[in-house]
Structure 1
């Protein structure tokens, strides 16, 4: 029997704050946000060096043979020549260990300085939508190379146009028209963004064999993407869908968003070569180099259509262990890292600048195996049915054909949720730098604007025990909590606390620690 907890960037359980901590060296004023999908908190420090900037040049050729990576600093991990950045596709060859773009000749005088960051992963930044899983999309958006059509504002809950200037539905709510921003240029002289690029990008995302992480609504509902001139595009849906514009056009932090790629680039290089080529994108930064298991380097785009960065160069190093990230920061091998809440008080006295980002992420606990729908709410037939992981004997699942059994399963799910002392986890594990979360889709500014206290699940272990008794499980049952790692430094500690709280109401609970990348395929296939 299994209950799984995915401690990831979107969730239902705890809303925690992310901290960027940086060495207190001098920095250029008012740097642009590295992220393109939504402006991130400004970077607060740099090394002060200013390497020559590549200028606009001709479109680069497909990547050459792998170049030997430069030696890493002592505390930074050495490149792994066997790593592939987690990218596996059926239609494109595996990426080389190191991919570089050749710099152009003329230097720019605008951005300056290098910002070095510590990251838990620098997945391969492939650039063909059908071949880009979640990790790849996160890299491309996180470093500002690719952009979403629009994004949520940081300061308040408003939608900010980015690659678009306006959008509207027709009276039937089945045709969404997006008016495109004129003059947006793809990096490396691949031309101006037009409606043809939008159509190709969407069609690639939903094509057969696609591993894009957010194709489901588009694949089920979109009947046609129709360019109307060069600067307008229509998305024709078969029936209205309230989630389409949000999930496809700004997405959850990059992972899942529709990336607009250059059709000219694909036509010129071919899909396989284009996927391994780092040119393209419309964001404020462009890729310079990627080395598997080691680093990704981007440089600022002069005269960017949204905002030109004050930093010329960002170098992101893959350092998986939080303690090693902190050591690299304290020894000034990197300028910025994400600090776990438990370490915040310890680092305040070390000359570091602390930047809090509200809505940094969610952690969630969700029950698996409840697959009772023969068709989805919008009429899509579920195939296969029942799903491989469906097991009516699991206490929180129930028999899909037996309403009484389903009611007992509902009580079990409520019992588990009410057994969790969320505030205690906030106070004792996350050091107060978090808050109990509301609905899963409410993050950051949307939480502040729309959350209502009535949505909170109360901590009530006595009522939880009663619910178990009413459901026929007064003696409890066995459960396994799968804790997936890679997004929050406190994941395992929180998983252990959750297990203890469930044990306290009579559920014999153990935990199993897995990587998200390794666990996700079985979840997507409904095998877990």
Structure 2
């Protein structure tokens, strides 16, 4: 617990404090949080994809089932809004019995089966959801009675419970609120979670207050002030001076090692890793040439990037599917070979290289890596011009297909299908009606991805996933780099109320059991 200002050697200029907006948070029941963004982009849980948005969503919403607080392990999924469920022998019909008396935030009433049906159909609708592609197997969703929901599938969906868990499209919204608020639901989201949004000030903060009607009990934390401080130094200084209780940390080995010297703070490193990948836009010349894409793959020295990030926070990847996901196949890789890269460029008609443009986030966990890659590509004559923008603008522009080379980090449900579907199936291609995050316009493994979804044979599914990964690798749709684990820094007086090993929403869950002492 803090006895004075937290002082340790990771900051230089005290003047940086002038850049930190002040918020009155004197009460011990107020949790003061800061993240590395200038604003949140979307608080609609079916649209929230940015890291800073997902954490907030995780504190405001529930789902039929949940990853227990502190876990990202699918084997540990437990009841949430559903008190129980059953599944047919063929895996095609799932029936959920809802808890009684679950209330939405504010005056939006009690949860019913109609809200669940509405939410899951909404999650599957590309007009209203960023995750629609993952719900292709949902054939029918029905309210059997006010407390019973039945989901009928067109095929046995791999990792089905992950799609109805408290993550991405699985979050349950108030039908009445979503219909009434329309587009304003983004800034006035209504869920059933332990905290409710009460204030949103652009480029300053979001305020959440405890949900007094929360079905697991009123949270011990009364208020969460969620501040936007994109500057690492300003955020860290506000923490060391006692203005903040928990901050988004720097996911760099040296920062972690230095920060751990402070005996009044705790560094939390947890799963899942956001898998860092360089996506090559095959619709942009000269990246439409396989020889050029191979040249880029051979010019990127991944070991140097991993060494920079550090072993604790950035283990190296080996497939287009993230490390540790069910179905990951590490049979392939791209060898670092500058001479081979130069020879391929010459064969493609670019002996002197070429210029290409990449939209890059100013985020500290992205920009330095892209600067390294920019330098590595320059060694073979490729000039990568970086259009550096703030993180929300970056997300907007890459989804408008504005980048030839897109560096992207993401965590998904830890199963090969989720990553293959969202990043490498043609239906997920950015700029299309069903767009998710296929920045490379990859379409070479659609058949295998779809067949793996429909088979009930686990061995056959694994085989198909491996074949899909090989095709994507051979086509050089992307260059996988490393998994960047989550790093947060907290006051040692903050007790989460559970052991933090993982969080699918990329921020420590703040629950009804979380406490802060100062």
**TM, length-normalised to structure 2:** 0.61
* Cα deviation digits, residues 321-378 of structure 1 (max 9, x gap): 2221112112222121122124334434454322222434232101113xxxxxxxxx
CA contact (8 A) 1:179 1:232 kept: yes
Q: Who is 1:498 aligned against?
A: 373
Q: Deviations over 1:88-124 (max 9, x none)?
A: xxxxxxxxxxxxxxxxxxxxxxx96222111234426
Choose the corresponding residue for 1:465, options 320, 336, 341. 341
Say if 2:48 and 2:54, in contact at 8 Å, map to a contact too: no
Task: Give the match's secondary structure for 1:436.
Answer: coil
Hey, which of these two has a bigger chunk of helix by percent?
A: 2
Q: Distance in 1 between matches of 2:207 and 2:232?
A: 21
CA distance in 1, matches of 2:123, 2:200: 23
Partner of 2:270: 357
Aligned CA RMSD, in angstroms, stands at 4.1
* Distance in 2 (alpha carbons) for counterparts of 1:75 and 1:470: 49
CA contact (8 A) 1:166 1:179 kept: yes
Match among 75, 78, 82 for residue 158 of structure 1: 75
Which position in structure 1 is the counterpart of 2:40?
Answer: 123
Give the alignment partner of residue 76 of structure 1, picking from 20, 26, 48: 20
| CA offsets 1:177-220 (integer angstroms, 9 cap, x no match) | 4443444332235333221101122334455743x2112343x5
**Aligned position for 1:62:** none
Residue 279 of structure 2: aligned partner:
366
- Shift in alpha-carbon separation, 1:490–1:260, aligned structure 2, 3 A: closer
1:417 corresponding residue in structure 2: 297
- Residue 123 of structure 1 contacts residue 136 of structure 1 at CA under 8 Å; is this kept in 2? no
Q: What are the equivalent positions in structure 2 for 1:68-467 lying under 5 Å apart?
A: 75-77=19-21, 113-121=29-37, 122-123=39-40, 132-135=47-50, 138=53, 141-142=56-57, 144-152=59-67, 154=71, 156-161=73-78, 162-167=80-85, 170=88, 174-206=92-124, 209-210=127-128, 212-218=129-135, 221-239=137-155, 241-242=157-158, 246=162, 248-250=163-165, 254=167, 256-265=168-177, 270-272=180-182, 275=185, 278=188, 280-302=190-212, 304-306=214-216, 309-340=219-250, 341=252, 342-350=254-262, 351-369=264-282, 390=283, 394-398=285-289, 409=290, 412-430=292-310, 433-439=313-319, 442=322, 446-447=324-325, 454-455=330-331, 457-461=333-337, 464-465=340-341
> Using a 3 Å threshold, how does the CA distance of structure 1 residues 504 and 466 change in structure 2: closer, same or farther?
closer
| Structure 1 pair 136–288 and aligned structure 2 pair: CA distance change class (3 A) | farther
- C-alpha spacing 1:466/1:75, structure 2 compared with 1 (3 Å): closer
In 2, are the aligned partners of 1:127 and 1:274 still within 8 Å (CA)? no
Give the secondary structure class of the aligned counterpart of 2:275.
Answer: strand
Q: Any idea what SS the aligned residue of 1:416 has?
A: helix
CA contact (8 A) 2:30 2:225 kept: yes
Cα distance in 2 for residues equivalent to 1:191 and 1:307: 17
Distance 1:128 1:354 in 2: 28
Task: Classify the secondary structure of the residue corresponding to 1:257.
Answer: helix
Contact 1:143 1:298 in 2 (8 A): no
**What's 2:388 paired with?**
513
Which residue of structure 2 aligns with residue 404 of structure 1? none
Deviation, 1:25, is: 5.8
Moved more, 120-129 or 313-322: 120-129
- Decide which of 361, 366, 370 is 1:485's aligned counterpart: 361
| 8 A contact 1:117–1:335 mirrored in 2 | yes
Contact 1:119-1:319 within 8 A present in 2 as well: yes
Contact 2:91 2:156 in 1 (8 A): yes
State the number of aligned residues.
Answer: 382
In structure 2, the CA distance between the partners of 1:301 and 1:451, relative to structure 1 (3 Å rule), is same
Q: Which consecutive residues of structure 2, in runs of 5 or more, have no partner in the other structure?
A: 5-16, 402-429, 433-438, 441-518
- Residue aligned with 2:116, SS: helix
Cα pair 2:65 2:161 within 8 Å, conserved = no
TM norm structure 1: 0.60
- Structure 1: how far apart are the matches of 2:210 and 2:103? 14
CA change 1:178–1:480 in 2 (3 A) is farther
- Residues 310, 128 of structure 1: alpha-carbon distance in 2 compared, 3 angstrom cutoff: closer
Q: 1:202 to 1:143 in 2, by over 3 A?
A: closer
SS of corresponding position for 2:400: helix
Q: CA deviation at 1:221?
A: 4.9
Deviation at 1:508, TM superposition (A): 4.0
* Offset at residue 222 of structure 1 (A): 3.8
Separation in 2, partners of 1:289, 1:491: 29
- Cα pair 2:294 2:341 within 8 Å, conserved: no
Deviations 1:369-401 (A, max 9, x none): 3xxxxxxxxxxxxxxxxxxxx35xx34424xxx
Q: Given that residues 168 and 178 in structure 1 are in contact (C-alpha distance below 8 angstroms), is that contact kept between their aligned partners in structure 2?
A: yes
Q: Does the 8 Å CA contact 1:417/1:457 hold for their aligned counterparts?
A: no
